[in-house]
Amino acid sequence: MSSEPTIFIGPKTREKIPEPLTFLKCLSCGVENSRPFKEGDYVLKVVNSEKCPKCGGAQSKIVNIYVPQKKESK
């Protein structure tokens, strides 16, 4: 009797791992932007390396990190 099962199940049956978005709030103009999560991001982290797309402000704060809900198709 083998201790390991033999039937192979491929990776096709796998559920896709949800990827979260990072929401940054510009500390100059208060506008909120989102982008895909990057390693090292955490909620309440102050980010100095990314410019605000609206006012060009250099400092922003991560206010949320979550997986957006899929919009239901009508």
Give the contacts of 37 (CB within 8 A, at least 6 positions apart): 19, 20, 21, 22, 65
Binding residue for another protein (CB under 8 A) from 8, 72, 73, 74?
8
Q: Taking contact as CB under 8 A, which single stretch among the options 3-11, 28-36, 48-56 is the one that binds another protein?
A: 3-11
Q: Strand, helix or coil at 13? A: helix
User: What is the size of the binding site for another protein (CB under 8 A)?
Assistant: 31
d(CA 34, CA 20): 10
Q: Contact between 32 and another protein (CB under 8 A)?
A: no
Decide whether 43 or 56 has the Cβ nearer to another protein: 43
